[in-house]
Structure 1
């Protein structure tokens, strides 16, 4: 299933611990709440972190995401209640 694009599953496994159940928390008290970002900004940021262009504590969680998984993850986050 890891190769399958499942935004909800990816978020719950890799992101919610720092960003909160509804993506409304500032991870490590530094990253913005994800529910404040557009889908395009999330995709761009996730790819940059995955590719090592942005460094931070959350990079390991993004290191092996495919482009498809990143898109599905951003769509899931964008669909969460604000």
Structure 2
């Protein structure tokens, strides 16, 4: 039984959705100089500033991209990233 093209692309789309985006963290500095990082803001009495955390790609991502390029070469050249 042959699958429709859309069913073949669904696993590919699921793999692409697994990328980890950068997160915004709160950098909290206590009165005594200690620094902590939190996702939901700082406790009272601490100085708060936002900091963007960069999550670099892991080697698995490049392996996945090579696999996608080998399975879907035409799609890979047209894909907008």
Same-fold call, TM cutoff 0.5: no
TM-score by length of 1: 0.28
Q: How does the TM-score come out when normalised to structure 2? A: 0.28
Structure scoring higher RCO (CA < 8 A, sep ≥ 6) equals 1
Larger gyration radius, structure 1 or structure 2: 2
